[in-house]
Amino acid sequence: MITTNRPTGPVRAVEILLAGARMQVLLVRSHPLIPVVTVVQPVVFFLVVTARHPATADRADLLFAVLLTSLWGGTLWTAGGILRRDMADGTLGRNLVSASDPRLVVIGKCLGSCLLVLALLACTGGTIAVVTGIHVPLAALPWLVAGLVFVALSGTALGYLLSALFVLVRHPVQLTSALVFPVYILGGLLIPTSALPAPLAALARGISLYWAQRLLSSAVSGDGATLPALLVLGALTIAYFLVGNVFFVRVVHRARVKGTIDLG
């Protein structure tokens, strides 16, 4: 009898997630969009915002807003296009009929994209903080680390949702472009929600990046809003995963049953 020590259950699921993340990092690390989103864009945004508000004392809040805004753009163009790229490369069919849960592969790829963009943004943000003299208290570091972990999970959930959505719609490129600026405006990142009409300002509460900014900013300022922001961010992240799963099930159904999605 031949026996193997091949891991099963949760260990195997983690292996699949990590393999998918590693594969995605290798695929997108040399994409010309990566340095634009993670270096050029945040630097330009920060210079523009601080030029309009030169006397503000809360530059850490502005820096977090700039970094999260860039993260949204990176999530749209890297994680959001994963399934569309699989279709173009002819690998979508193999992913859907493999022995492993195809959701784990897609989520792992979204995680890889998000971690790559977030890590590069953290380096850019740290450089900006050092150059501009933004001070981060040592007591805030545990909350900042927890916040970044939740931001990575939220970005992964958004990527999972968007990657399935972009397969289901007819014009994914146009939809990607159309989603960029509404979040910039409604997310309370670069434009304060107090400057928006009340109905529009309320929409910010359903955007995870709004709570991510509140979490990171409150961690540095110590205003006591850290835990509530963390809880809401976690709840929205779970909601994004659930909605993304609904979309992904529809993708699988259309591909396997209806045959209305090209498997490549």
**Per-residue confidence (pLDDT) for residue 259, from 0 to 100:** 58
Please indicate, yes or no, if residue 114 is contained in any of the structural domains.
yes
Cβ(21)–Cβ(112) under 8 Å? yes
> Please, what are the averages of pLDDT over each run of 10 residues along the chain (264 residues)?
51 88 89 90 90 69 90 84 76 68 89 94 93 85 89 93 86 77 76 78 86 88 82 94 93 69 54
Burial 7-34 (b: 16+ CB within 10 A, else e): eeeeeebeebbebbbeebbebbeeeeeb
Q: Is residue 264 part of a domain?
A: no
Q: What is the pLDDT of residue 5?
A: 46
Range of the domain at 146: 11-258
User: Given this model, what pLDDT does residue 59 score?
Assistant: 82
Q: Is residue 98 part of a domain?
A: yes
Q: Structure pTM?
A: 0.86
Q: 155: how many CB neighbours lie within 10 A of its CB?
A: 29
Would residue 75 count as lying in a domain?
yes
Looking at the chain, the whole-number percentage of residues with pLDDT higher than 90 is 30
Is residue 5 in some structural domain? no
Q: What is the pLDDT of residue 1?
A: 37
pLDDT at position 4: 42
Whether 228 is covered by a domain: the verdict is yes
Which residues neighbour 142 within 8 Å (Cβ) at sequence distance 6 or greater? none
